[in-house]
Amino acid sequence: MASKLVIVESPAKARTLKEMLGKGYVIKASLGHVRDLPKKELGINLMDFAPKYVVLFEKRRVIREIKEAANSASAVYLATDPDREGESISWHLIEATKLKKDRIPIRRIVFHEITKEAIEQALQNPQTIDMKLVNAQQARRLLDRLVGYKLSPLLWRKVQSGLSAGRVQSAAVKIIVDRERQIQDFIPQEYWTIEVELTKLVPENKQGTFRALLIGLSDGTKVDIPNQTKANTIATELIKASYTVSKSQTKETIKQPAPPFTTSTLQQEAWRKLRFSAHRTMAIAQQLYEGLPIGDEGLVGLITYMRTDSTHVAPGAVAEMRDFITQRYGSNFLPSKPRIFAQKQKFTQEAHEAIRPTKVFREPSQLIPYLKSEQLQLYELIWKRAVASQMAASIFDITTVEIEAERPDSEKRYLLRATSSTPRFFGFMVLYIESKDEEEEDKIMAPIPTLERGDRLKLLQIIPEQHFTQPPPRYTEATLIKALEQKGIGRPSTYAPILATIQERRYVHKENGSFRPDELGFIVNDLLSEHFPKIVDLGFTAKMEEDLDNIARGKKEWVPVLRNFYTPFEESLRIAFTKINKISFSQPTDEVCPNCHQPMVIKRGRYGKFLACSNYPECKVTMPFLVKTGASCPECGQELVQRTGKKGRIFYGCSAFPKCKFTIRYKPLPESCPRCGKLLIVYRKGLAKCSKCSYKRRLEQEESTG
């Protein structure tokens, strides 16, 4: 009897399915896309927007092998990923192989986890290709080709060769550039806070001390403390005051667990907890999804599909989680009903599931012998988040104490407040606590003694502290993905490629884990903002994503969507070619050409800045452009300079390279550590720290921003 042919994208997925399905099935991998628009031409008929697809040169052998396998098969099952791109790959496979449905049954099967049960169920319930999803993917591909193919030549001619512009990447660069300009325009404002350290005014008080923060006057009037003079005046008044508890109350606070991961929340949390980039996170998640050898189990998919915007979890998986929680933690850690999470995204694909382990009883500790370190770390993160999402809520007692400071010679009464949090029941927090971005971090609430209204307190000390308002923080991988999702820019499968592309094109770079725009990023963003405002307009980009979602739902036709975009875009392009002048990057320097002794100038090429002789083309001498730091190399004493890696990431290395190969990730400072004399570096949160000892100090804003 003829075998059945199953086609997937990757060899890893093919190996897992081959082991699970056994005899009677032939598994072939397409190795991703097999057809695309041609590389050297637009490939789109601008009259009717019909695409001209070609089989990729490197996939001709793959197509030939699939056709040969199909000719001897009794049926063909297209088992590409369960999303628009996977649907599109299946459609392209049929078109490229020219398989005829009247000669051989061709079926589309969909599964969200690579387990024997899920695959058997998919084979028992075959489908046909959903052309609405295919057309949505076609529309996205053609939109991106129109923007990239038409805008890139403009950037080559007016800015620099080798540049590219993208519909979604340009919006992401704008988000980063706008934030950087907010930081540049920010003017810090001084302000002071005053805390007092108190204790109960009773003999043999053993409950300890606590701190209370000045919040205003007892009549509700706010007290501003703009400078040290005002802080000293208030401190003098507080020294002479008597302190009495005016209010003490304790309230129960319930904290619910976070939902299981979607693509964006996984990428955010993997950055916060593991410092994995979005690209690295998705590569590891792909390995966990497609299947890994787990002892006697053989090849098995460990997590469900990792490109999803849904927090839905299959009822069977929820039941398994609840069973596990009861066995491992006890019934008091189990809510009375399964927890269902509301979908936050407008166009969530309900057929998808959240990212979860395929088998809850397969605990991370059991996989230590079989997984690489990074695979285990990510699996543990996914496993804990999923299980915790079905656990009981955490309960805390939040105690708030208000204190009046009164002077006998004044009618003015100051109001101070102390707050503490005491856990009553940890619930899901025994397993998992969601991380927060730096700007969202909770202030630690220290414990305070038991206090009641009317209790007299003794002042121990007054702690005035100077502060300055801070600019908004630069985007990290986590906060940029969060912003893209909130603004409707991109979709689950696009976040990682967006972040990779804007760095590869050297529009932005990472510095101490945060994105900063390069000069090129500013220039290209400003050019597009002026001449192609819709390309970088976040609302317009989000509206295009909404249109693509509506195509996938069958509510819009894809060709009119393309036409409505391209007609005004073409006119803007025509005007821009005639209106925009060539942008020059040449900047004079004090360097002298070693060949002809003419001044060297800074120029920008495809791979960044470099020095070139101003006597070009008569003299073609070029030299590397080195951004000096003023810091000395700890190994050889030469100056440390800023360098750029292949992926656009900034690092610092010795100017004597390749003789000295010292490098460091963090920006070095010119001065040495006052404690041990070693190298000082710019660290997180505007801190300088020694690269060797424990010395730290806070930086001025100019130093920390560079």
User: Which active-site residues does the annotation give?
Assistant: 305
> What's the CA gap between 524 and 159, in Å, rounded?
8
Q: Which residues pair with 248 in a beta bridge?
A: 401
Amino acid at residue number 374: E
Tell me how far CA of residue 547 lies from CA of 308, 360, 492, 532, 601, in angstroms.
Answer: 19, 38, 16, 20, 47
Q: How many CB atoms lie within 10 A of CB 293?
A: 13
Specify the length of the chain in residues. 706
Query: What is 422-474 written as a DSSP string?
Result: EEEE-GGGGT------GGGPPPP--------TT-EEEEEEEEEEEEE--PPPP
DSSP run (H or E) holding 523: helix 519-531
Residue 499, helix vs strand vs coil: helix
Buried b / exposed e along 527-552 (16+ C-beta atoms within 10 A): bbbebbebbbbbeebbebbebbbbbb
Report the candidate in 148, 198, 80 with the shortest Cα–Cα distance to residue 456: 198
Tell me how far CA of residue 168 lies from CA of 11, 144, 240, 528, in angstroms.
Answer: 30, 8, 62, 13
Residue where the block lists tokens 């105690």: 399
Report the candidate in 438, 41, 462, 81 with the shortest Cα–Cα distance to residue 243: 462
> What's the CA gap between 101 and 445, in Å, rounded?
67
**C-alpha atoms less than 13 angstroms from C-alpha of 250 in its C-beta half-sphere:** 14
Q: Which residues pair with 514 in a beta bridge?
A: 511
6, 77 Cβ separation under 8 angstroms = yes
Q: Which residues pair with 330 in a beta bridge?
A: none
696's CB contacts (< 8 A; 6+ apart) are 683, 687, 688, 689, 690
Query: What is 239-301 written as a DSSP string?
Result: HT-EEEEEEEEEEEEEEPPPPPB-HHHHHHHHHHHH---HHHHHHHHHHHHH-EE-GGG-EE-
